[in-house]
Amino acid sequence: NKVTAGSFDFKEIEAGVDQTHHVAEGYDAQVLLRWGDPIFPDTPEFDPMNQTAERQARQFGYNSDFIGFIPIDGSSDHGLLVANHEYTNDELMFPGVGAQDAKDAGFSKMTKELVDIEIAAHGGAVVEIRRVGGKWQVVKDSKYNRRITADTPMEITGPAAGHDRMKTAADPAGRQVRGMINNCAGGMTPWGTWLSCEENFNGYFWGKVAEDHPEARNYKRYGIGRPAYAWGKFHERFDLAKEPNEANRFGWVVEIDPFDPTFTPKKRTALGRTKHEGAAGITNSDGRYVIYLGDDERFDYVYKFVTAGRVDPQNRAANFGLLDEGTLFVAKYNPDGTGTWLPLVHGEGPLTDANGFKSQADVVIETRRAADLLGATKMDRPEDIEANPQTNRVYVMLTNNTRRKDDQVDSANPRANNAFGHIVEMMPEGGDHASAAFKWEVLVKCGDPSVASVGATFSSETTRNGWFGMPDNCTIDSQGRLWIATDGNNAKATGRADGLWALETEGELRGTSKHFFRVPVGAELCGPCFTPNDESLFVAVQHPGEPEDDVAADFENPITRWPDFKDGVPPRPSVLVITRQGGGKIA
């Protein structure tokens, strides 16, 4: 049941940048949840001039990246929406902070009160939603609604749990941590849990460990030492000089049961510690669950995790330990179009005591160094990875890498100064996602095909609106079609805002892309997520109004006030739901 060529029949939108969003003709894009929207009956309405941490913890958070939808009773019109709240833009959220002042080394305008609002705006949300008369609405009095923040108690499970390197003053057992941070993309498991991935956790830590401290090499490999947030000024655990192990407790994949608001989120350390973009998986033909994981950094790696056990579709509870036992692998792409998954297993190959790996805990805590030693292929910032259940082909978004030099080019990362990124397609041997062998090819090199020096390879059927740069999040609809959301297109880079493009992967039109949706100025597009019937598509507009490098913008002087367009109200990151006018599948 492969998809046929020319499967997208929506009318393409014009590429461009302006103050608002645009969706293909014949579709509606409804703002469903904005930053600050109350998600409980007793939450006060959003008031940007009188925000508090307490209110923020009861409101929808900031900058959603991953969006998931879990049907209730199999319905595509009623279910739980889960959303990651990745990071905060203090200059746009708070009056008086200002674009420049927020970035000064001492974060002089950031008070403890503002930091605590930021902590409450991070994490994620579970929100019951329902479609009534064609329109989606939030069920505020749902028993499921929940906010998770960077302060929510979580449990550490798997090989690193209880290890000395995970112990802190607040948690001498090394098994409990407060919060998740910088949760980018994620995945939904077949047993109905939400995997939420900690990405750029390094930016939250102040202070340093000494050059000869046992964690110095580890922290350097993850880029710790240049704080992007003021948290360490007010909270000792975010200051490595005071709590040297706290940074080992971030950078994990977190599993959450959205149907149990009292569930303690689990940091599943067997899946490794990296700047995780996402954790989308597929049930293998033998019942094992396989999760593909990108580590979003220039010259970092593509991973997969294969569970030891099998998914039990009859017994939901039996699946809750699946992610604690299994094998983590890292990808090596050979020039001849073959590839190998290299196991990150303590005691195998170079992952031994002699190299500082005394146990599997050391391997997962220093996943990147373990993968370095195995000789994995250094990629151009691996973002989302999705497996197509209809074809068993796997799509890897490689967003860009302008630091790759001519002598660092390889077949899987074929362009130096790769400003626009590319997409790699992987074919597991025999359709077996647990196999160590795969074949691969570059599906498309992104960028403007009309500029020869860019070297883009979209098909010739792709229009001037249809090409994109910087693929980031992606999803596959129930018909097996690939949709790609971007991060990094703007007036200067590509003459177009970020947005959503539909990309043909099969047949004669393979490599043809069409533009479906675009975001307001300053934003990137995240999500995307279809309901099972393909009639509703959730997208997250992240950081609307975020200034480009050379533009100053702040709470008082934003470059857009999307989506409210009200004086005094800053731009608000929001989740939108796209539906077809008159009903029907998104085509």
Which residues bind to ligand FEO, rule: CB under 6 A?
A: 65, 86, 184, 199, 277, 296, 383, 472
DSSP assignment letter at 8:
-
Report in angstroms how near the CB of residue 542 gets to Ca ion at its nearest: 5
In this complex, which beta carbon is closest to Ca ion, that of residue 255 or of residue 472? 472
Report in angstroms how near the CB of residue 487 gets to ligand FEO at its nearest: 6
> What residues between 530 and 559 interact with Ca ion by CB under 5 A?
none
Question: Which pair of structure tokens corresponds to residue 137?
Answer: 């609405």
Q: How many whole angstroms separate alpha carbon 277 and alpha carbon 298?
A: 13
DSSP assignment letter at 505:
-
Q: How many whole angstroms separate alpha carbon 148 and alpha carbon 180?
A: 8
Q: How many whole angstroms separate alpha carbon 52 and alpha carbon 287?
A: 47
- Calculate the CA dihedral of residues 242, 248, 249, 253 and round it to 10 degrees: 160
Instruction: Give DSSP secondary structure letters for 184-232.
Output: EEEEE-TTS-EEEEE--GGGG-BS---TTSTTHHHHHHTTTT--SSSHH
In this complex, which beta carbon is closest to Ca ion, that of residue 258 or of residue 278? 278
Report in angstroms how near the CB of residue 122 gets to ligand FEO at its nearest: 13
Report in angstroms how near the CB of residue 470 gets to Ca ion at its nearest: 8
Report in angstroms how near the CB of residue 276 gets to ligand FEO at its nearest: 9
Q: How many whole angstroms separate alpha carbon 98 and alpha carbon 457?
A: 41
Report in angstroms how near the CB of residue 265 gets to ligand FEO at its nearest: 19
199 binds, among ligand FEO, Ca ion, none (CB under 5 to 8 A by kind): ligand FEO
Decide if 315 contacts 402 (C-beta within 8 A): no
Report in angstroms how near the CB of residue 41 gets to ligand FEO at its nearest: 32
Q: How many whole angstroms separate alpha carbon 574 and alpha carbon 238?
A: 28
**513: contact with Ca ion by CB under 5 A:** no
**473: contact with Ca ion by CB under 5 A:** yes
Question: Of the listed pieces 106-114, 185-193, 231-239, 321-329, which binds Ca ion according to CB under 5 A?
Answer: 185-193
Q: Output helix, strand, coil percentages for the chain, rounded to the nearest 5.
A: 15, 30, 55
**199: contact with Ca ion by CB under 5 A:** no
Helices (H), 347-476: 360-365, 367-374
Half-sphere exposure (Cβ direction) of 32: Cα atoms closer than 13 Å: 30
Report in angstroms how near the CB of residue 65 gets to Ca ion at its nearest: 4
Report in angstroms how near the CB of residue 526 gets to ligand FEO at its nearest: 8
Backbone angles phi, psi at 384, to 5 degrees: -65, 150
3-state secondary structure 358-394: CCHHHHHHCHHHHHHHHCCCCEECEEEEEECCCCCCE
Question: Of the listed pieces 52-60, 166-174, 210-218, 485-493, which binds Ca ion according to CB under 5 A?
Answer: 485-493
**386: contact with Ca ion by CB under 5 A:** no
Size of the site for Ca ion (CB under 5 A): 6
In this complex, which beta carbon is closest to Ca ion, that of residue 184 or of residue 224? 184
> What residues between 416 and 435 interact with Ca ion by CB under 5 A?
none
Decide if 235 contacts 118 (C-beta within 8 A): no
Q: Is 317 helix (H, G, I), strand (E, B) or coil?
A: helix
**198: contact with Ca ion by CB under 5 A:** no
Q: Which residues pair with 398 in a beta bridge?
A: 382, 422
Name the nearest CA neighbour of 65 among 237, 276, 321. 276
In this complex, which beta carbon is closest to ligand FEO, that of residue 184 or of residue 365? 184
Report in angstroms how near the CB of residue 275 gets to ligand FEO at its nearest: 7
Report in angstroms how near the CB of residue 371 gets to ligand FEO at its nearest: 17
In this complex, which beta carbon is closest to Ca ion, that of residue 184 or of residue 374? 184
What's CA 164's distance to the chain center, in Å?
A: 29
In this complex, which beta carbon is closest to ligand FEO, that of residue 184 or of residue 454? 184
Number of residues in the chain: 587
Residue nearest to Ca ion (CB): 487
**472: contact with Ca ion by CB under 5 A:** yes
Question: Of the listed pieces 145-153, 176-184, 186-194, 449-457, which binds Ca ion according to CB under 5 A?
Answer: 176-184
Decide if 420 contacts 470 (C-beta within 8 A): yes
What's CA 545's distance to the chain center, in Å?
A: 20
**487: contact with Ca ion by CB under 5 A:** yes
239 binds, among ligand FEO, Ca ion, none (CB under 5 to 8 A by kind): none
Which residue is listed with tokens 């706290």?
A: 246
In this complex, which beta carbon is closest to ligand FEO, that of residue 10 or of residue 395? 395
In this complex, which beta carbon is closest to Ca ion, that of residue 59 or of residue 473? 473
- Using alpha carbons, list the distances in angstroms from residue 386 to 82, 115, 286, 304, 345: 18, 35, 19, 11, 24
DSSP assignment letter at 353:
G
121 binds, among Ca ion, ligand FEO, none (CB under 5 to 8 A by kind): none
In this complex, which beta carbon is closest to ligand FEO, that of residue 428 or of residue 522? 522
In this complex, which beta carbon is closest to ligand FEO, that of residue 37 or of residue 383? 383
In this complex, which beta carbon is closest to ligand FEO, that of residue 93 or of residue 184? 184
Beta strands 266-268 and 153-157, pairing class: parallel
Report in angstroms how near the CB of residue 373 gets to Ca ion at its nearest: 27
Report in angstroms how near the CB of residue 460 gets to ligand FEO at its nearest: 30
**380: contact with Ca ion by CB under 5 A:** no
Decide if 30 contacts 579 (C-beta within 8 A): yes
Pick from 22, 43, 59, 65 the residue near Ca ion by CB under 5 A.
Answer: 65
Decide if 77 contacts 541 (C-beta within 8 A): no
In this complex, which beta carbon is closest to ligand FEO, that of residue 12 or of residue 487? 487
In this complex, which beta carbon is closest to Ca ion, that of residue 185 or of residue 270? 185
**300: contact with Ca ion by CB under 5 A:** no
Half-sphere exposure (Cβ direction) of 379: Cα atoms closer than 13 Å: 31
Question: Of the listed pieces 76-84, 147-155, 466-474, 558-566, which binds Ca ion according to CB under 5 A?
Answer: 466-474
Question: Of the listed pieces 52-60, 359-367, 470-478, 494-502, which binds Ca ion according to CB under 5 A?
Answer: 470-478
- Site residues (CB under 5 A) for Ca ion? 65, 184-185, 472-473, 487
